[in-house]
Structure 1
Amino acid sequence: MTATAMRVMAPELDAHLLDAADELLAPLRDRLAGLDPAELEPYPPVPGFDPVLAGGPRSWRPLRLPAPPGEPSPALPDDGRLTATRVADLAALVRAGELDAAEVHRAFVRRIAELDPAVNAYLTVAAEWHGGTTGPLAGVPIGLKDLIDTAGIRTTCGSRLLSTRVPARDAEAWRLLRQAGASLLGKLNTHEFAAGVTAENEHYGPVRNPYHLAHMAGGSSGGAAAAVACGTAAAALGTDTGGSVRIPAACCGVVGLKPTYGLVPVTGTYPLAWTLDHVGPLARTVRDAAMMLDVLAGTRAERAARAGAHGGLADIRVGVPQAWLAGSTAPVVHGFRAAVRELERQGATVLEVTLPDADLLTAVNRVIAYAEGSAWHEPMLRASAGYEDGVRARLEAGRFVLAGEYLTAQRLRAAACRQLGLLWGTVDVLIVPTLPCTAPKLGSATIDLDGRAEPIGTALPRYTAPFSITGVPALTLPFGQDTAGLPIGVQFAAPPGEDARLCYVAAALEAARAPLPEPPVCSP
């Protein structure tokens, strides 16, 4: 910050005092400005964020989840249903030699050619099969958000500034999926640099919602959610900083899982905010998302999901923050309450709880994301004018977040972690709406929340950002539709490290609810 800027920001201070401060800071600024930003690329700032330590002493009880029952071998799907087959069945059939992995890949590529011109989920299509025939994800065609590096295949981050960027190595998350047998279908459209909640990309066009093409898919992982929803990917991998896996998953009627912070490696994934960034799966079912998490993090979430789909919830305590429903639209509230009634029907004990103010926690998320995102992008912000206007404004805003404001946000984050940490002694999981509304129309700047207009950038992450800043695992599950046929999502959260518990409870609700119909874009 220059001496002139200091005078503008603190006009009440004596000029001699400002000059003295500038004299102290000038050599430090010059020293830092002389560094090559490329040398710092592999290194996030320290200290890092640990959701377990931030939550205080462990208060949650261990849950003994039942063992899943055995299951028969999957039936071979008809040719027309191949792209609708769940991940677990595709992999089992490929491993058994009953499906040809290369032909599975080609079937998905044909579906991309058929449906993606309307949806615009893909930025790059990998038409050639390079997957495996062994491993837990044998032959499963996966789409990757275009922030996740792939060796030899361009990774643009949804920006024209990086339109020719071709990484030399795979991101660690994709390396793990590929090693498990998955094949790459391509790179998926996103809000530029993941810095937005709509996936309306000015450079490559907006991602459209498969349930209503005039509505947004949500962001920033909009391409990932839309591809899974219309069957142009068996599953996908996205990133989540304030809700960017769960927001589009809820908009498009699929499962989106944000794991515990730090559980899934982010190496090779383009950063937005170091202490908030997560990598997580999007899939048609809880079990499919859990299978991917097992590969990415060595959990036993898939086993828990299988057990949940066949077991009751008699020993589960579910926390419901009724105050968080205020401001949600009537269809969302109706769907949420129906989900809570179903949990009670399955034997869960539902308890009303008090959570920190969602709007405050969303503001905390934005302060941290602005500051950290600006720090990462600063060299490119100085050198280039090629950002989308809205994205540039957010990143530039971060340059003016003061150190005291950033630290205050981090202290509020610590307080929220501690409040949740205490709450886990009372409940085993939380259930909240994923979004206060269903997917807005493309081009919307505001959302009508039952008579009150609210900016889209603050409304959509209201119920997702709190679990990003606290780092706890959170999963959105589709549960019903509004009168326009747009999906409604409900969201579960669990203590840090209890990702398997999350999948158990979500799979139990999933097994009891009616599945969503196929998106209209898929109809012949």
Structure 2
Amino acid sequence: MTPDLIAARGEIAAHRTTASRLVDTCLEAASGEACRHAFIGRFDAMARAAATAVDAQHAAGAPLPPLAGLAVSVKALFDVQGQVTTAASIALADRHAATCDSPAVARLRAAGAALVGHTNMTEFAFSGVGINPHHGTPANPATHALDGLARIPGGSTSGGAVSVATGAAWAALGSDTGGSIRIPAALQGLVGFKNTARLVPTEGAIPLSTTLDTACAITRTVRDAIALHEVLAQRVVQRSGHALGAMRFGLPTTLMLDSLEPQVAAAFERATATLRHAGAHIEDIALPELGDLAAINATGGFSAAESWTWHRSLLATHEAQYDHRVAQRIRRGERMSAADYIDLLHARRDWIEQMQIAMRGFDALLSPTVPLVAPLIADLQASDDAFFDANGKLLRNPSVVNMLDGCALSLPCHRAGEMPVGLMVWGPALSDDTVLDASLAIESALAAMRS
């Protein structure tokens, strides 16, 4: 199979295939067993029409658009004109269809994407696990191929990641509030880039936290992540092309390396050793500021306060239709006072200032994306304690970057035949181009190790 979107676009550009042919292949994959529960709404006719239009324009000599009529899936919290936006909740099933695309969707469409469907997700995006009791939970296709067991896909962009992993889409539009792009990417062996939040508009999407929400994408490769970011942010990524030997990375020893499962620890240590051998300068740093986050968020954090603001009226009338685990987390915001929220704003501002000082001199920081490999779906469905324990572990590392108002990319660092493990490359706000540039070099250096 063509390895990524950029390669597929090249095949179309060279007239060796067509967008229509590739979209048909993706739609066939979307109907396969590996993609079961990945979509809650399919846009087959819309996707085929978009691909046909690109093919006709290309045949007539028009420039091929950036996304070339290729299949892209859309997380079910983004408005798509003519479709009902539910955020995978039955509490919103009776909503009217969206009258226009959200800005992120409009930018994908304008760039020639063939939108193939609304993907399943954690209800209202409120967990990193990916379980959905209303629409079913898509099993992790990457791990299923290894042991045949139904493991979690990661969330909240669960179906989006599965759509990319199964070949039903070349990229998936999603959101990241505490890791919701990077967690499923890490658990499924994909690439997930969380840009600086302000670079892509989040209007036209059902919010979780208006402070932390980020609109971004899951892809197969770093170069695809760059292509999708350039479309979504309407900007050109500036690439230095520096070799790893010209880069300096920090490796935080506070929090990020705690309680790693053996498979994660082994893959991460092997990856960093490979990068050092390739010339990268990697320096352990204490970064004690990371230890302050639990106290800063002790009253519930931004997601609880801001989701309660959006959901309080709907919960009053439809709470019985919510996933009880989601409702429980939203209701934490009910107990937060205005003073708590203002204190949180001030504490975050001060913490970001301290972190920026501590991170100076590094091109980016390196960490495991999450400290565990994908648990079994059945184990987390059966126990609230097991669910919330896994959810806390999954969110621990990636949520640091959202609190920082930073940017981060997760890319796979495991070997073929091993459970997927993600390596996170991250930095402060507006260091997106540096993080992407470093990630390209890291991906290249790890390629031989991973084969």
Using the TM superposition, give the Cα deviation of residue 378 of structure 1 relative to its aligned residue in structure 2, in angstroms: 1.2
Indicate whether 1:476 and 2:410 are aligned. yes
CA contact (8 A) 2:404 2:428 kept: no
Q: Which amino acid aligns with 1:506?
A: S
CA distance in 2, matches of 1:320, 1:474: 14
CA distance in 1, matches of 2:436, 2:191: 11
CA contact (8 A) 2:3 2:220 kept: no
**Percent identity of paired positions between Structure 1 and Structure 2:** 32
CA distance in 1, matches of 2:3, 2:265: 31
Using the TM superposition, give the Cα deviation of residue 360 of structure 1 relative to its aligned residue in structure 2, in angstroms: 4.4
Q: Which residue of 2 aligns with 1:120?
A: 37
CA contact (8 A) 1:195 1:220 kept: yes
Using the TM superposition, give the Cα deviation of residue 364 of structure 1 relative to its aligned residue in structure 2, in angstroms: 4.5
Indicate whether 1:325 and 2:257 are aligned. yes
Deviations 1:296-348 (A, max 9, x none): 113333x63xx75xx52122110011233121112212211222222222222
Question: Of 138, 143, 150, which residue of structure 2 is paired with 1:214?
Answer: 150
Q: Which amino acid aligns with 1:491?
A: M
CA distance in 2, matches of 1:512, 1:428: 17
Q: Which residue of 2 aligns with 1:94?
A: 12
Indicate whether 1:111 and 2:45 are aligned. no
Where does structure 2 lack aligned partners over 5 or more consecutive residues?
55-63
Using the TM superposition, give the Cα deviation of residue 430 of structure 1 relative to its aligned residue in structure 2, in angstroms: 0.3
Using the TM superposition, give the Cα deviation of residue 186 of structure 1 relative to its aligned residue in structure 2, in angstroms: 0.7
Return closer, same or farther for 1:495/1:99 CA change in 2, 3 Å cut-off. same
CA distance in 1, matches of 2:232, 2:352: 25
Q: Which residue of 2 aligns with 1:459?
A: 393
CA distance in 1, matches of 2:236, 2:77: 27
Deviations 1:153-195 (A, max 9, x none): 2322110112243211101001001101111011110000101
CA contact (8 A) 2:196 2:429 kept: yes
Question: What secondary structure is seen at the aligned counterpart in 2 of 1:480?
Answer: coil
CA contact (8 A) 2:76 2:86 kept: yes
Q: Which residue of 1 aligns with 2:57?
A: none
Indicate whether 1:396 and 2:326 are aligned. no
Question: What secondary structure is seen at the aligned counterpart in 2 of 1:487?
Answer: coil
Using the TM superposition, give the Cα deviation of residue 114 of structure 1 relative to its aligned residue in structure 2, in angstroms: 2.1
Indicate whether 1:135 and 2:69 are aligned. no
CA distance in 2, matches of 1:215, 1:444: 9
- Measured on the aligned residues, the alpha-carbon RMSD in Å equals 2.4
Q: How does 1:52-451 map to 2 (within 5 A)?
A: 81=1, 84-116=2-34, 119-128=36-45, 129-131=48-50, 133=54, 134-165=64-95, 166-210=97-141, 211-212=143-144, 213-301=149-237, 304=239, 312-323=243-254, 324-356=256-288, 358=290, 360-361=292-293, 364=296, 366-385=300-319, 386-445=321-380
Q: Which amino acid aligns with 1:329?
A: E
TM-score normalized by the length of structure 1: 0.76
Question: What secondary structure is seen at the aligned counterpart in 2 of 1:319?
Answer: strand
Question: What secondary structure is seen at the aligned counterpart in 2 of 1:233?
Answer: coil
Using the TM superposition, give the Cα deviation of residue 90 of structure 1 relative to its aligned residue in structure 2, in angstroms: 2.0
Return closer, same or farther for 1:242/1:493 CA change in 2, 3 Å cut-off. same
Using the TM superposition, give the Cα deviation of residue 413 of structure 1 relative to its aligned residue in structure 2, in angstroms: 1.5
Indicate whether 1:509 and 2:439 are aligned. no
Q: Which amino acid aligns with 1:262?
A: R
CA contact (8 A) 2:289 2:354 kept: no
Using the TM superposition, give the Cα deviation of residue 357 of structure 1 relative to its aligned residue in structure 2, in angstroms: 5.1
Using the TM superposition, give the Cα deviation of residue 115 of structure 1 relative to its aligned residue in structure 2, in angstroms: 3.5
Deviations 1:380-404 (A, max 9, x none): 1112131111111111221111223
Structure holding more helix per residue: 2
TM-score normalized by the length of structure 2: 0.88
How many residue pairs align between the two structures? 424
CA distance in 2, matches of 1:444, 1:375: 32
Question: What secondary structure is seen at the aligned counterpart in 2 of 1:504?
Answer: helix
Q: Which amino acid aligns with 2:49?
A: H
Return closer, same or farther for 1:199/1:510 CA change in 2, 3 Å cut-off. same
CA contact (8 A) 2:116 2:169 kept: yes
Q: Bigger radius of gyration, 1 or 2?
A: 1
Q: Which residue of 2 aligns with 1:50?
A: none
Q: Which residue of 1 aligns with 2:59?
A: none
Q: Which amino acid aligns with 2:286?
A: T
CA distance in 2, matches of 1:486, 1:228: 17
Q: Which amino acid aligns with 1:123?
A: I
Question: What secondary structure is seen at the aligned counterpart in 2 of 1:314?
Answer: helix
CA distance in 2, matches of 1:495, 1:256: 17
CA contact (8 A) 1:94 1:139 kept: no
CA distance in 2, matches of 1:459, 1:363: 17
CA contact (8 A) 1:444 1:456 kept: no
Deviations 1:482-506 (A, max 9, x none): 98x3201110112321212111111
